[in-house]
Structure 1
Amino acid sequence: MINDNEVIATLEELEAFVLAVESGGLGLNNVAGLALATNNSNGRPFVAVLDDNQQLLLGRWVSDEVFENGKDIVRYGPRKH
């Protein structure tokens, strides 16, 4: 499920989203991982929250800049401040 009205436009917003997922703040159950992906029908990039069966639990559209530069945040987690 991807909400068309919510687009992650900055790396800071991506970090906040990852932290919310990791902390359980979004109320999702059975979260196994995150991935950056593109929609098969239109090529639009998004961040996917996946369960242990690789099924999409939640998705948020991301800007092209976040898609290109946010890979390490998704792969390794948010930067430590």
Structure 2
Amino acid sequence: MINDNDVINTLEELETFLILVEKGGLGLKNVEGVALATNNADGRPFVAVLDDKHQLVLGRWVSQDVYENGKDMVRYGPKKRR
């Protein structure tokens, strides 16, 4: 469930995405967590929204820079609370 054309390229975009997930703005059900991961097939990094059974609900590709520098934001949540 990852859209190939929808890539998060900046930390600001990652923050906006995390806030949307946190606030329920994407209409996802049973969201329990968010993680940065890599695709097993090609190693491409993505942010994964997981449900209460640790199944992928939504994924968005991220740039290598966001993958390397956004780990704390994903782990601890965005600083801005809109």
Output the TM-score relative to the length of structure 1. 0.97
Percent identity at matched positions?
74
User: Structure 1: which 5+ residue stretches go unaligned?
Assistant: none
Residue 80 (structure 1) shift: 3.6
Return structure 1 stretches of 4+ with deviation > 6 angstroms.
none
The residue number in structure 1 matching 2:5 is 5
Q: 1:54 corresponds to which residue?
A: 54
Look up the SS of the partner of 1:13 in the other structure: helix
Task: Tell me, in whole angstroms, the C-alpha distance in 2 between the residues paired with 1:62 and 1:32.
Answer: 20
- Where does structure 2 lack aligned partners over 5 or more consecutive residues? none
**RMSD across aligned positions (CA):** 0.9
Residues paired across the two proteins, number? 81
SS of the aligned residue for 2:79 comes to: coil
